[in-house]
Amino acid sequence: MNNDKNALNRRSFLKASLLSGGGMMLTVSFLPSFKSAGKAEALNLPDHWAELNGYIQITADNRIKLICPNPEFGQNVMTSLPMIVAEELDADWKNVAVEMGPHDNVKLGPQFSGGSNSVRMYWKPLREAGAAARQMLREAAAQTWNVPVGEVTTKAGVLSHSSGKTAQYGQMAAKAATLPVPKDLALKSPKDFTFVRKSRKNVEGQKVVTGKPLFGLDYRMEGMLIAMIQHPPAFGMKLKSFDAAEALKMPGIKDIFSLKLYEEGFEQAGFDTRTFNDLLVIVGKSTWEVMNARKKLVAQWEPAGEVKDTMAGRDGKRVVTVPGALESSQKQMTQMAEYAKKPAQELRKDGDPETAFKNAAQVIERTYTAPFLAHNCMEPMNYFAHVTDDKALLVGPLQSPGWIEPTISKLLNLPPEKIEIQMTRMGGGFGRRAYNHYLSEAALISRKVKAPVKLIYTREDDMTYGIYRPMYTATYRAALDADKNLIGFHVKGGGIPEHPIHANRFPAGAVDNYLAEGWQIPSNITVGAFRAPRSNFNAAAEQSFLDEVAEAMGKDPIQFRLELLKRAKENPVGKNNDYDADRYAGVLELVRDKSGWGKPGSEKYNRGVAAYFCHNSYAAHIVDMVTRDGQPYVERVFSAMDCGIVVNPDAATNMVQGAVVDGIGNAFYGALTHKDGAAQQTNFDNYRLIRHNEAPKKIEVHFVQNDIDPTGLGEPPFPPVFGAVANALYKNKGRRFYNQPFKPELEKVM
């Protein structure tokens, strides 16, 4: 275990050191973008450096190793991040090895995999690291050969001089490690890239398909026990008492007990949660034995009543009151409809929307709804913990190790340097694994039983435990004058327990009279990030509504959007518009051209379009729907993305394709409902996912080519899929669908 994490000199952002085998290790350290400018200036570091350490190791046998700092759950950072370093290093890719690093709050910073930030955050720091290592190797070669450093060139891991002298990087690594790290680093022009923008296979692809032990469920330790938690059958309930006499008689069972996750008054951080605070725990030798013993448990549950949680996050310390009612989806829908009629919080107002609507020749008003969604990661929640009196080893899949360490330190009363968190590959994340309560639970269980423990959730545990995409509704209104010009736009959205509205996004800035409002209803059903939080609903409703407005105005839906974007570019309304109208228009034009929109040859398809901006990137889709066996079927999709420079085109294409399939499935089928606080969907037999034969036959992905630094890609392609499906479905069925998922209403009209 590394017990001196805090001993690193933070004032040096690049350091070189010798490896025991005679090579060089270059360490990079940088501050996260969310730290204050004052701290960045105090450390004399560039603003764009974030607080993590990447390690470039070059050994004497010419191997180059990058320890990947960010958690991997399929977004392919373990390939793309090394590619960024290799680009500036001029490395030979066949000599590059990649390892997932452990959590280290000094060397590797927050290591948060979410918000589509991985490549965006690491882009400049890792380029700087690669360029620095390359320059130091050139200096070493120049000194060894007694030639000017400007005459030493590099290519594919080889140093060369016009005299004919050559050396592999490994031959100069030891000497390079003794040289000072250069301060002024010249980075390549994008036109000179040889790694970036060239596709590379997933460095862990072979391990994944051959079943190598990469995931948290694969982790084993001698003497390890298995733990499971029996939680209340409904939100709003808690453990009253239990009888474990019969369960303890079952083979392999070691202990059954209750414990609290957080003591009263515990300050929860941003990604902490306590869906069910009183844990009823079963510990045994094997998963099967624990599952069988759990069936023999006799537990009594009682109303939890109103609960007060102390939160300490980005919004400061506050007390949140969690209601104690047993909630039902039908009642929640009625409650949302009632709230929608009440005054709401004004989020943005441009011009005089009240007068515009009062004087309008035509007002179009539509209301959209969406239910809770479960993440359903293919690998259920799990975590390994071995906690003793003086240290803790924690191993498993999570998205935010930097956020959980302070919580674990408080729960276990151990200093951070005594806590070792190792990250495994994740079998899906989508925001679910940013909430690390399952790690805390595993740690407390291990401490209680004084043994190494792996906590495992069954699929039913995971689906009924919470951390869902919130339940949303939004009402959109458009005001048209007598000439069918758009003169007013109003969106009022709410949800349980948060509203979905991004007030400064399109079409804000493109309409003279604009109003955005939001409201929310508290709930004891725990929610969290879900692949483009809020945006995945907001885009669905907004893009579906814009199509209706375009039709009422007698305009082509793409042309209508482009006209609004032209206005936002040339004569924008307001100053807080958070999108680039040119880039937004660019993806619409690209998908229009690549799909042959409006041209002969696509008459057999019911076509729907949608576009959206979120997480710093722009996405547009055209969905081509047909009727197959009497059912609407998305046969092909055209997608356009502007996410800046694309590091690994094949991986980026795969990410967009995955978002498209995921979006289609959720639009048609995704729903998690409750009755008297209990989740009504508990496994894949009654939580409908898209099937293989329902996926499009063709998903054609195109990227806008530019030299903008990389922006987000994991989340941006997902939200507009919903709207494109809704708009295609209208063409297919001749009627609009306003409530997700669409399948239940489809069955009523078929």
- Distance (Å, rounded) from C-alpha 228 to C-alpha 304? 22
Alpha-carbon separation of residue 323 from 231, 536, 618, 651 (angstroms): 18, 26, 38, 44
**Residue 409: band (very low, low, confident or very high) from pLDDT cuts 50, 70, 90:** very high
Question: Could you give the maximum distance between any two Cα atoms of the chain, in Å?
Answer: 84
**Residue 33: band (very low, low, confident or very high) from pLDDT cuts 50, 70, 90:** very low
- Distance (Å, rounded) from C-alpha 87 to C-alpha 92? 10
Domain boundary among 437, 456, 475: 456
pLDDT for residue 11: 29
- Distance (Å, rounded) from C-alpha 639 to C-alpha 657? 9
- Do 204 and 222 reside in the same domain of the chain? no
| Bridge-based pairing state of the strands 64-68 and 96-100 | parallel
pLDDT for residue 110: 65
Is the Cα dihedral 430, 432, 435, 436 positive or negative? negative
**Residue 613: band (very low, low, confident or very high) from pLDDT cuts 50, 70, 90:** very high
> With 80 as the cut, is the pLDDT of residue 299 above it?
yes
- Do 230 and 122 reside in the same domain of the chain? no
- Phi (first) and psi of residue 560, to 5 degrees: -60, -45
Q: What is the mean pLDDT of residues 45-63?
A: 51
SS3 200: coil
pLDDT for residue 288: 97
Residue 157, sorted as left (phi over 0), alpha (psi -120 to 50) or beta, turns out to be left
Domain count within the chain? 3
- Strand pairing partners for 493? 474, 518
pLDDT for residue 23: 53
SS3 611: strand
- Strand pairing partners for 699? 637
Residue 526 lies in a domain: no
User: pLDDT tens digits, residue range 344-382?
Assistant: 999 999 999 999 999 999 999 999 999 999 999 999 999
- Say which amino acid occupies 340: A
Give the lowest-confidence range in 177-181, 560-564, 637-641. 177-181
User: pLDDT tens digits, residue range 460-512?
Assistant: 999 999 999 999 999 999 999 999 999 999 999 999 999 999 999 999 999 99
**Residue 569 burial by CB count (10 A; 0-12/13-18/19+): exposed, middle or buried?**
middle
- CATH number for the domain harbouring residue 200: 3.30.365.10
Q: What is the mean pLDDT of residues 597-618?
A: 95
**Residue 15: band (very low, low, confident or very high) from pLDDT cuts 50, 70, 90:** low
- Distance (Å, rounded) from C-alpha 363 to C-alpha 549? 10
pLDDT for residue 24: 52
Instruction: State the average pLDDT for the chain.
Output: 90
**Residue 729: band (very low, low, confident or very high) from pLDDT cuts 50, 70, 90:** very high
Residue 468 lies in a domain: no
- Do 192 and 235 reside in the same domain of the chain? no
Give the lowest-confidence range in 58-67, 424-433, 530-539. 58-67
Contact 669, 688 (CB under 8 A): yes
**Residue 117: band (very low, low, confident or very high) from pLDDT cuts 50, 70, 90:** confident
Number of helices (H) and strands (E), helices first, in the chain? 18, 31
Cα angle: 50, vertex 51, 55; to 5 degrees: 100
**Residue 21: band (very low, low, confident or very high) from pLDDT cuts 50, 70, 90:** very low
Residue 600 lies in a domain: yes
> With 60 as the cut, is the pLDDT of residue 429 above it?
yes
> With 90 as the cut, is the pLDDT of residue 537 above it?
yes
- Do 201 and 227 reside in the same domain of the chain? no
Which residues does 530 contact at the CB level (< 8 Å), separation at least 6?
Answer: 373, 375, 430, 431, 432, 468, 469, 536
Q: What is the mean pLDDT of residues 201-215?
A: 94
DSSP 189: P
- Do 220 and 193 reside in the same domain of the chain? no
Q: Determine what percent of the chain is predicted with pLDDT higher than 70.
A: 92
- Do 160 and 246 reside in the same domain of the chain? no
- Distance (Å, rounded) from C-alpha 363 to C-alpha 569? 26
- Say which amino acid occupies 539: A
- Distance (Å, rounded) from C-alpha 441 to C-alpha 227? 10
DSSP string computed for 537-560 = HHHHHHHHHHHHHHHHHT--HHHH
Instruction: Name which of 110, 82, 81 is nearest 94 in CA terms.
Output: 82
* Dihedral angle computed from the Cα positions of residues 243, 249, 251 and 253, in that order, rounded to the nearest 10 degrees: 50
- Say which amino acid occupies 674: H
- Distance (Å, rounded) from C-alpha 740 to C-alpha 500? 15
- Do 164 and 272 reside in the same domain of the chain? no
- Distance (Å, rounded) from C-alpha 87 to C-alpha 124? 12
Q: Which domain covers residue 552, as residue numbers?
A: 546-749
- Strand pairing partners for 66? 56, 98
What interhelical angle do 535-553 and 649-669 show, nearest 10?
A: 80
Tokens of 451: 């043994």
> With 70 as the cut, is the pLDDT of residue 608 above it?
yes
**Residue 178: band (very low, low, confident or very high) from pLDDT cuts 50, 70, 90:** confident
Contact 414, 444 (CB under 8 A): no
Tokens of 675: 């009755």
* Number of Cβ atoms within 10 Å of the Cβ of 276: 22
Residue with token string 């034995």: 289
- Do 135 and 266 reside in the same domain of the chain? no
**Residue 16: band (very low, low, confident or very high) from pLDDT cuts 50, 70, 90:** low
Residue 373 lies in a domain: no
Residue 137 lies in a domain: yes
Instruction: Name which of 650, 659, 667, 646 is nearest 728 in CA terms.
Output: 667
- Do 158 and 257 reside in the same domain of the chain? no
Tokens of 552: 């009422």
- Strand pairing partners for 496? 471
Domain boundary among 456, 486, 516: 456
Written in H, E and C, the secondary structure of 399-432 is: CCHHHHHHHHHHHHCCCHHHEEEEECECCCCCCH
Tokens of 682: 């508990």
pLDDT for residue 55: 57
User: pLDDT tens digits, residue range 226-261?
Assistant: 999 999 999 999 999 999 999 999 999 999 999 999
Domain boundary among 422, 456, 490: 456
User: pLDDT tens digits, residue range 133-148?
Assistant: 899 899 999 999 999 9
pTM of the shown model: 0.92
Q: Per the omega criterion (within 30 degrees of 0), is the bond before 741 cis?
A: yes
Residue 737 lies in a domain: yes
Helix (H) or strand (E) holding 259: strand 253-260
**Residue 601 burial by CB count (10 A; 0-12/13-18/19+): exposed, middle or buried?**
exposed
- Do 184 and 288 reside in the same domain of the chain? no
Higher pLDDT, 264 or 414: 414
**Residue 108: band (very low, low, confident or very high) from pLDDT cuts 50, 70, 90:** low
Residue 709 lies in a domain: yes
Which residues does 700 contact at the CB level (< 8 Å), separation at least 6?
Answer: 594, 595, 636, 637, 638, 639
User: pLDDT tens digits, residue range 674-684?
Assistant: 999 999 999 99
- Do 20 and 146 reside in the same domain of the chain? yes
**3-class SS shares of the chain: helix, strand, coil, % to 5:** 30, 25, 40
DSSP string computed for 641-697 = EE-SS-S-HHHHHHHHHHHHHHHHHHHHH--B-EETTEES--STTTS----GGGS-S
- Do 231 and 191 reside in the same domain of the chain? no
pLDDT for residue 179: 86
Instruction: Name which of 639, 584, 641, 569 is nearest 609 in CA terms.
Output: 639
Helix (H) or strand (E) holding 355: helix 353-358
User: pLDDT tens digits, residue range 326-340?
Assistant: 999 999 999 999 999
Residue 652 lies in a domain: yes
Instruction: Name which of 503, 505, 506 is nearest 517 in CA terms.
Output: 503
* Dihedral angle computed from the Cα positions of residues 295, 299, 302 and 304, in that order, rounded to the nearest 10 degrees: -70
**Residue 68: band (very low, low, confident or very high) from pLDDT cuts 50, 70, 90:** confident
Contact 489, 512 (CB under 8 A): no
Higher pLDDT, 56 or 124: 124
**Residue 44 burial by CB count (10 A; 0-12/13-18/19+): exposed, middle or buried?**
exposed
- Phi (first) and psi of residue 239, to 5 degrees: -70, 130
